[in-house]
């Protein structure tokens, strides 16, 4: 620790160097992982947007300039997948947020029963969306699945619904996404409700406000800031969902449930084990970058819109 | 007057009934697929596909025997356990070290690094980034090994590093200073003073990394393409969907699915409070 400081500047520099080395010795394990798994893949993807490349053994990557990006903008299936992503995302968010909010209102008070109910509703969020995607695949199977069997034995429907067919696949996907996520947002809302000041609720009660009035005029306005964060999280996570789509519908039938994230993926890897794929890494990279920009734009637009909401209040 | 009070009381009662009804429906909705998985894993394939009673007519425990022995699930279970434990360990150690340093010292390049870590939370190119990682590991000769898989599964951990950093910032700095005056090095400050205090946040990180690794599908699938011997339970179960006689193997699929979800269910039973509290710590503050 003790070093002679004959030369003030040199000694100082040495000490600074030692301090920096110490710092980086702590950072090193994570830094290696961060550079390898986070930074490098982003740079790689950005680079290959401008190349045509089919992988090792297919010749060197070929510079094609903006060709891949132009192709993305002309790719009708891709834009269909963008629309599908929005349908999926809004469908999921619009249903999951009110459901989660009501659950939070009902289970907010810290009682033993509420604690148990909370952990039951939260349970799906710790499950593998891949494994449960397989289970839903069996449950929603048109002829042998239990969903149709129950609906038919209750006489709600006469003939089996093709849940995973072109017409209903998106609905089924959204139902399973709600199943997997509602507990998450319920917990966020409970955290938000706990921040609503108790005395505001008390004084509302003293003033004679009913439960609905209290909810509408006190609780919801006071939840504003946290609601904004929750909506933001739900939108961005909906854009990233891929595993459940991959296992349940594989983007099909006929691209009916193809979402942006899966569309880029399929130019890199086969979606299902029964599919043969000729990889197009350059084009896949371009698709992924455009998708990331779209998701980013939605986030920015949302932030702007929610700031406007602030001005109104 | 009296009738107004009465009607109000009545509507409050009706509201409460509606609330309870809603809750019951939601709990049935969330629990049913899990109950179906576990009970279905004990039925015959015919019973599953023809639609029988809620409980199995005869409890088919040999489904599990078939899954474990014929479908090789012993191996996949071992892989899942080894991977989940080592990934969790690597993530916790690396996040603890980095989070501590970011919170406690100024050093050259800190600002740039922090900006990079934060921005990586917002750039999401999705699963395609697995290809360059895979290629890189291949160049190192790690693509067919458990070590390579652990690296890919651990990943950058940017969110968790920032989470740990935020937590350490909340611990009074006087503690470190006192230790340094007493002759502690920075390593001593970390190991003896702060590490014990960081336990709560590291438990959150461990819990979530463990869950994510255990449940992961895409990363493990891609990294084991050239060496299926390293597949985990999650990957192996889903692959059953593509097997030749999938239609006749629903019972094996559900037995496999149960084997894959029961360990995480047990973890959840033991620490569901931490899961729920950890989620709020990570999302709302961070």
Query: Which tokens belong to A85?
Result: 């992503």
Question: How far does A278 lie from chain B, in Å, by closest CA?
Answer: 14
Task: Specify the pLDDT at position B81.
Answer: 94
Give CA–CA dist A69/A64, Å, rounded: 10
DSSP B246: G
In a domain, B151, yes or no: yes
Residue A191 lies in a domain: yes
Interface of B with A in 206-265 (CB under 8 A): 211, 214-218, 222, 225, 234-235, 237-242, 250, 253-254, 257, 260-261, 264-265
Tens digit of each residue's pLDDT (9 = 90 or more) over A23-34: 899 999 999 999
Question: For B219-253, what is each residue's pLDDT tens digit?
Answer: 999 999 888 899 999 999 998 888 777 777 888 88
Of A38, A132, A187, the CB nearest to B280: A187
The per-residue pLDDT of chain B, averaged, comes to 87
Domain count across chain A:
1
Same domain, B110 and B34: no
Query: Which chain B positions have a beta carbon within 8 Å of A122's beta carbon?
Result: 272, 275-276
Q: How confident is the model over B169-215, as pLDDT tens digits?
A: 988 888 888 888 888 888 888 988 899 999 989 988 998 899 999 99
Cβ–Cβ contact B54 with A under 8 A = no
pLDDT number for residue A186? 92
> In this complex, do B156 and A34 lie within 8 Å of one another by their Cβ atoms?
yes
Q: What does the block give as tokens for A61? A: 């990557």
At which residue do the structure tokens 């942006």 appear?
Answer: A260
Q: Do B124 and A247 touch (CB under 8 A)?
A: no
Q: What percent of chain B has pLDDT over 90?
A: 38
ipTM: 0.88
Q: Which of B131, B155, B122, B152 shows the shortest CA–CA distance to A239?
A: B122
Per the CB < 8 Å rule, is A131 touching B238?
A: yes
Whether A242 sits inside 8 A of B222 (CB atoms) is no
pLDDT of residue A208: 77
Query: Could you tell me the residue range of the domain that residue A239 belongs to?
Result: 83-258
- Measured between beta carbons, which residues in chain A are less than 8 angstroms from residue B282? none
How confident is the model at residue B209, as a pLDDT? 93
- Site of tokens 């993305």: A72
With CA atoms as reference, the chain B residue closest to A275 would be: B242
Q: pLDDT value at position A193?
A: 85
Q: Domain holding B157: CATH number?
A: 1.10.3720.10
3-state secondary structure of A94: helix
Residue A264 to residue B126, Cβ atoms within 8 A: yes
Provide, as residue numbers in chain A, all residues whose Cβ is less than 8 Å from the Cβ of B115.
Answer: none
Whether B72 shows a pLDDT value over 90: the answer reads no
- CA–CA min distance A209, chain B (Å): 12
Residue in A121, A139, A291 nearest the CB of B26: A121
| Burial grade of B72 (CB within 10 A; 0-12, 13-18, 19 or more) | middle
Percent of chain B topping pLDDT 70: 95
Same structural domain, B23 and B144:
no
Contact B242 A229 (CB under 8 A): no
Decide if B272 and A122 are in contact by the 8 Å CB cutoff. yes
A-proximal residues of B, 155-214, CB under 8 Å? 155-158, 161, 185-186, 190, 211, 214
The CATH number of the domain holding residue A120 is 1.10.3720.10
Assigned domain for B147 exists: yes
Is residue A226 predicted with pLDDT exceeding 70?
yes
pLDDT at residue A39 is higher than 60: yes
Domain region containing B159: 72-285
A41/B126 Cβ within 8 A: no
CA distance A243 to chain B (A): 7
Residues of B in contact with A132 (CB under 8 A): 33, 257, 261
Whether B91 has a pLDDT exceeding 80, the answer reads yes
pLDDT in tens, A128-186: 999 999 999 999 988 888 888 888 888 888 888 888 888 899 999 999 999 999 999 99
For position A277, what pLDDT does the model report? 77
Average of per-residue pLDDT across B101-128: 88
The DSSP secondary-structure symbol of B69 reads I
Q: Are residue B14 and residue B131 in the same domain, yes or no?
A: no
- For the residues A202-209, what does the mean pLDDT come to? 79
Residue A95 is assigned to a structural domain of this protein: yes
Res A312: pLDDT: 56
Classify the C-alpha dihedral B123-B124-B125-B129 as positive or negative: positive
Q: How many domains does chain B have?
A: 2
Residue A268: other Cβ atoms inside 10 A: 24
Closest-CA distance of chain B to residue A123, Å? 8
Within a 13 Å sphere around the CA of A288, how many CA atoms are in the beta-carbon half? 33
Q: Are the beta carbons of A128 and B276 separated by less than 8 Å? A: no
Q: Given this model, what pLDDT does residue B59 score?
A: 84
Contact partners, residue A46, CB within 8 Å, separation at least 6: A285, A289
Residue A44: pLDDT above 90? yes
Tell whether the model's pLDDT for residue A5 goes beyond 60: no
Q: Side-chain half-sphere of B222: how many Cα atoms within 13 Å?
A: 23
In a domain, B85, yes or no: yes
List of chain A residues whose C-beta atoms are within 8 Å of the C-beta of residue B33: 124, 132, 135-136, 139, 179
DSSP B117-185: HHHHTT---GGGGHHHHHHHHHHTT-TTSHHHHHHHHH---HHHHHHHHHHHHTS-THHHHHHHHTT--
Residue A224 has pLDDT above 60, yes or no: yes
Closest by alpha carbon to A27, among B117, B9, B248? B117
Domain co-membership, B10 together with B127: no
From the list B234, B238, B268, the residue facing A123 with the nearest CB is: B268
Residue range B25-45: mean pLDDT, rounded: 90
| Residues A58-111: tens digit of each pLDDT | 778 888 888 889 999 999 999 999 999 999 999 999 999 999 999 998 898 888
Residue at A277 is within a domain: no
Lowest average pLDDT, out of A191-200, B75-84, B140-149, goes to A191-200
Which residue, B164, B125, B275, is CA-closest to A293?
B125
User: Quick check: B30 and A121 CB within 8 A?
Assistant: yes
Average pLDDT over chain A reads 86
CA–CA distances in Å: residue B43 to residues B29, B35, B55, B183, B254: 21, 13, 8, 66, 9
- Same domain? For B28 and B116 the reply is no
A119 occurs within a structural domain:
yes
DSSP E strand boundaries for chain A = 51-52, 62-63
CB-based contact B128 A268, cutoff 8 Å: yes
**Is B26 part of a structural domain of the chain?**
yes
- Answer whether residue B64 is part of any domain: no
Answer yes or no: is A149 within a domain. Answer: yes
pLDDT band at B164 (very low <50, low <70, confident <90, very high): very high
CA–CA separation, B208 and B2 (whole Å)? 55
Identity of the residue in A1, A26, A56 whose CB atom sits nearest the CB atom of B98: A26
For residues B136 and B240, give the distance between their C-alpha atoms in angstroms, rounded to a whole number: 30
Contacts of B113 in chain A (CB under 8 A): 27, 31
Mean pLDDT confidence for B256-284 = 81
Q: Is residue A65 part of a domain?
A: no
Residue A174 lies in a domain: yes
Q: Is residue A199 part of a domain?
A: yes
**Residue of A127, A233, A285 lying closest to B283 (CB–CB):** A233
Is pLDDT at B285 greater than 50 in this prediction? no
- For residue A2, pLDDT over 50 is answered with no
């Amino acid at each position: 620790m003790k070093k002679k400081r004959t030369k003030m500047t040199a000694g100082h520099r040495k000490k600074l160097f030692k301090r920096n080395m110490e710092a980086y010795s702590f950072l090193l394990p994570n830094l290696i992982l961060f550079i390898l798994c986070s930074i490098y893949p982003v740079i790689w993807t950005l680079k290959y947007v401008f190349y045509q490349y089919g992988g090792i053994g297919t010749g060197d990557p070929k510079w094609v300039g903006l060709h891949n990006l132009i192709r993305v903008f002309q790719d009708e299936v891709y834009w269909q997948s963008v629309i599908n992503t929005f349908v999926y995302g809004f469908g999921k968010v619009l249903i999951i947020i009110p459901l989660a909010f009501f659950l939070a209102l009902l289970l907010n008070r810290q009682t033993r029963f509420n604690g148990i109910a909370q952990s039951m509703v939260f349970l799906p969020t710790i499950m593998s969306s891949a494994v449960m995607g397989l289970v839903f695949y069996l449950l929603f199977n048109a002829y042998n699945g239990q969903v149709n069997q129950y609906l038919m034995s209750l006489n709600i429907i006469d003939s089996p619904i093709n849940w995973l067919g072109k017409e209903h696949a998106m609905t089924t996907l959204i139902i399973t996404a709600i199943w997997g996520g509602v507990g998450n947002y319920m917990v966020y809302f409970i955290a938000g409700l706990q921040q609503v000041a108790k005395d505001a609720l008390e004084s509302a009660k003293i003033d004679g406000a009913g439960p609905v009035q209290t909810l509408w005029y006190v609780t919801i306005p006071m939840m504003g800031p946290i609601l904004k964060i929750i909506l933001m999280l739900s939108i961005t996570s909906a854009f990233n969902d891929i595993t459940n789509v991959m296992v349940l519908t594989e983007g099909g039938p006929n691209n009916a449930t193809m979402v942006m994230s899966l569309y880029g993926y399929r130019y890199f890897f086969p979606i299902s084990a029964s599919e043969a794929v000729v990889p197009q890494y350059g084009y896949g990279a371009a698709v992924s970058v455009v998708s990331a920009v779209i998701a980013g734009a939605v986030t920015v637009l949302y932030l702007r819109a929610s700031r406007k909401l602030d001005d109104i209040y | 007057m009296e009738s107004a009070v009465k009607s109000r009381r009545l509507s409050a009662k009706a509201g409460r009934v509606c609330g309870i009804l809603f809750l019951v429906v939601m709990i049935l909705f969330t629990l049913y697929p899990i109950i179906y998985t576990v009970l279905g894993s004990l039925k015959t394939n015919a019973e599953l596909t023809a639609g029988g009673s809620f409980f199995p007519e005869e409890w088919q425990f040999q489904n599990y025997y078939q899954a474990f022995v014929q479908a090789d699930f012993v191996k996949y279970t071992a892989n899942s356990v080894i991977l989940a434990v080592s990934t969790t360990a690597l993530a916790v150690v690396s996040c603890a070290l980095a989070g501590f340093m970011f919170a406690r010292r100024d050093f050259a390049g800190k600002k740039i690094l922090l900006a990079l870590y934060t921005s990586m939370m917002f750039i999401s190119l999705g699963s395609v980034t697995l290809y360059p990682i895979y290629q890189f590991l291949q160049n190192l000769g790690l693509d067919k090994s458990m070590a390579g898989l652990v690296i890919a599964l651990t990943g950058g951990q940017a969110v968790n590093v920032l989470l740990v950093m935020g937590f350490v910032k909340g611990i009074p700095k006087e503690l470190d200073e006192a230790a340094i005056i007493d002759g502690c090095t920075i390593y001593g400050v970390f190991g003896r003073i702060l590490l014990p205090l960081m336990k709560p946040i590291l438990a959150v990180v461990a819990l979530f990394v463990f869950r994510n690794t255990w449940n992961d599908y895409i990363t493990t699938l891609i990294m084991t393409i050239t060496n299926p011997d390293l597949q985990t339970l999650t990957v192996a179960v889903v692959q059953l969907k593509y097997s030749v006689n999938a239609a006749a193997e629903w019972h094996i699929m559900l037995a496999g699915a149960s084997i894959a979800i029961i360990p995480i269910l047990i973890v959840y039973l033991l620490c569901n409070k931490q899961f729920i509290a950890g989620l709020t710590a990570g999302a709302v503050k961070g």
